[in-house]
Structure 1
Amino acid sequence: MAESADPNPVVFFDITLGGEQLGRIKMELFKDVVPRTAENFRQFCTGETKNNRGQPQGYKGAKFHRVIKGFMIQGGDFINGNGTGSRTIYGTDKFADENFNLTHDGPGLLSMANSGPNTNGCQFFIITSPTGTPHLNGKHVVFGRVIDGMDVVTKIENTRVGQADKPLQDVAIVQCGEM
C-alpha cells in the first residue's frame, strides 16, 4: 500500500493551571484512519469553523472539566464548560462513530467522549492509564495520540479535583492550533 501523500495533521494545546503556564501538548491526528473525526478536532484547534454569529469556535479558552487519575483527562466542552455541551464542524451537535479500528491500548491516546453510540461532538479525552482503557474499545473512537507533552498531561492528571472529578483550579487551553 502506498504512503498517503498527506501526512497526518499535528495540532497543539498550550495549557495553564490556575493561570500559570503548564506547557504544550502536541498531538498527531489519525486522519488516515478516521478522517471525519480528525478533521472535526483539527478545526476546533484552529478555530476556522465559525458559529452562527460568524465568530471562531473551538478549544481556545476551553477547560479540562473532568480529571480521573490513573484513567483519563477530559475536556473540549467549549459550549457549557461542564461536559454537557456538544458541537461539530458538520452543522450538527453530534456525529456518528466513524469506526473502531483503533483501540485504547496505552497512555497518550486521544479519543472522543460521548454519551452513547453516535454522539460525538467536541469533547475528547486523553488516556493516562499505563495499560490503556480496553473497556472503552467499540464505544469511543480513538483519533489521535500525544507526540510531545505527556509531562503536561501528567501534571493535569495530578491536579487536585473536587466534586464530579472537576479540577479545583481551572485547567485551560489558552492557545491552540495546527503545527
Structure 2
Amino acid sequence: MSVKRIAFGTIITLLFLVGCKDKTEKKTSKEPQTDAIQDTTQTVEVVPNEGELEEEFKLNEENSIQFFFDYQKGLKENKVKLTTSMGSFTVQLYDNVPYHKANFIYLTREGYFDGTQFHRIVKDFIIQGGNADDDETADKRRKLGRYLLPPDTRKGYKHHRGTISMPSSEINNPHKLASPYEFFIVVTKPGSYHLDGGFTPFGKVIQGMDVVDKINKVAVGKGDWPQQNVYIEKAEVLQ
C-alpha cells in the first residue's frame, strides 16, 4: 500500500471522528436549553393561590344598596360602644332603619372609626364624628369605597336629645343622600326637631350621655373644629 493511500485513509478517519464529536457536542448543548424552556413554561403556568388575582372589594354607588341589604339579614347586634379620649358611651341602633344600621355596624367591624375624631362641635347643638385630618382616615375611605346611603326619614324618629343621625353629603347631592362615614349626636334639650325630615336618625345614646355633654363643652376654633382633639379610640359592636 502506498504512503499516499495510507495518509488519505488516515485523514478520512480523522474527519469522521471529528464529525461524530461535533454531533455529540451539539446534542449535549441542546439539553440545558430544553430544560430551561420547560422550567420557564412551568413558571408561567403556575396557578396562583385562590384570591390572588381577585380585585379588592370596594363599595360604590352601584353595589352598596344590595350589599347592605344582604348584610343586614339576620343581623341581631344593635349596640355599639364608642370609647373616646374623654370617656365612653353606648348607642343603640334602630332595627327598622336597616341600611344605616348595617352601615354603622359594618364600618365599626372594619375598624374605620378607630382613630377618627369628633371633628365638629357646635355648642348646645351637636357633636359630629367619623372624620380626621390625617392620611390614615383618607386611606381607610379609599379602601372601603365611595358611596352614599339613601335617606330614611319616614320611620317616625325625631331628633331628640341623644339621637345619633347621619349628615348629608355636600357633593352633588340634591336628594340629601347620607354621608356614610360620619355621624352626629344631638345635645340640645329636649331636641333639635328642625332636623326632622332632612336627616336620618338611626339610633340613640343609651349610656354615657354625660360623656357626650363633656365633649360638647370642648373649646372650638374656626369651623367648629375643637381646639383639643377628641379621638374615638375604639368602636366595638356589643353582643
Normalised by the length of structure 2, the TM-score is 0.59
Task: Give the deviation of 1:148 after TM superposition.
Answer: 0.4
1:42 aligns with 2:111: no
CA contact (8 A) 2:159 2:186 kept: no
- CA distance change for structure 1 residues 134 and 150 in 2, over 3 Å: closer, same or farther? same
- CA distance change for structure 1 residues 74 and 106 in 2, over 3 Å: closer, same or farther? same
RMSD, aligned CA: 2.8
- CA distance change for structure 1 residues 8 and 99 in 2, over 3 Å: closer, same or farther? farther
- Give CA deviations for 1:95-139 in whole Å, capped at 9, x if unaligned: 211333243342110000113611332111000001211111111
Amino acid corresponding to residue 46 of structure 1 in structure 2? R
Separation (CA, whole Å) in 2 of partners of 1:177 and 1:41 = 11
User: What is the correspondence of 1:50-65 to structure 2 with a 5 Å cutoff?
Assistant: 57-65=111-119
Separation (CA, whole Å) in 1 of partners of 2:217 and 2:146 = 34
1:128 aligns with 2:187: yes
Structure 2, unmatched stretches of 5+, are 1-73, 170-174
Separation (CA, whole Å) in 2 of partners of 1:73 and 1:104 = 17
Task: Give the deviation of 1:79 after TM superposition.
Answer: 8.0
Q: Any idea what SS the aligned residue of 2:131 has?
A: coil
1:96 aligns with 2:160: no
Q: Any idea what SS the aligned residue of 1:24 has?
A: strand
Separation (CA, whole Å) in 1 of partners of 2:153 and 2:115 = 29
Percent identity reads 31
Q: Any idea what SS the aligned residue of 2:115 has?
A: coil
Normalised by the length of structure 1, the TM-score is 0.78
The answer to which structure, 1 or 2, has the higher relative contact order (CA under 8 A, 6+ apart) is: 1
Separation (CA, whole Å) in 1 of partners of 2:142 and 2:78 = 18
Separation (CA, whole Å) in 2 of partners of 1:106 and 1:162 = 26
| Equivalent residue, structure 2, for 1:154 | 213
Separation (CA, whole Å) in 1 of partners of 2:224 and 2:91 = 24
Give aligned pairs, total. 158
Larger strand proportion of the pair: 1
Task: Give the deviation of 1:67 after TM superposition.
Answer: 0.4
| Equivalent residue, structure 1, for 2:80 | 11
Task: Give the deviation of 1:176 after TM superposition.
Answer: 1.1
| Equivalent residue, structure 1, for 2:121 | 67
CA contact (8 A) 1:161 1:168 kept: yes
Structure 1, unmatched stretches of 5+, are 17-21, 48-56
Q: Any idea what SS the aligned residue of 1:152 has?
A: helix
Task: Give the deviation of 1:78 after TM superposition.
Answer: 5.5
Q: Any idea what SS the aligned residue of 2:104 has?
A: helix
Larger helix proportion of the pair: 2
Q: Any idea what SS the aligned residue of 1:43 has?
A: helix
Amino acid corresponding to residue 63 of structure 1 in structure 2? Q
Separation (CA, whole Å) in 1 of partners of 2:123 and 2:116 = 20
- CA distance change for structure 1 residues 11 and 150 in 2, over 3 Å: closer, same or farther? same
Structure 1 runs (4+) deviating above 4 angstroms are 5-8, 78-81, 84-91
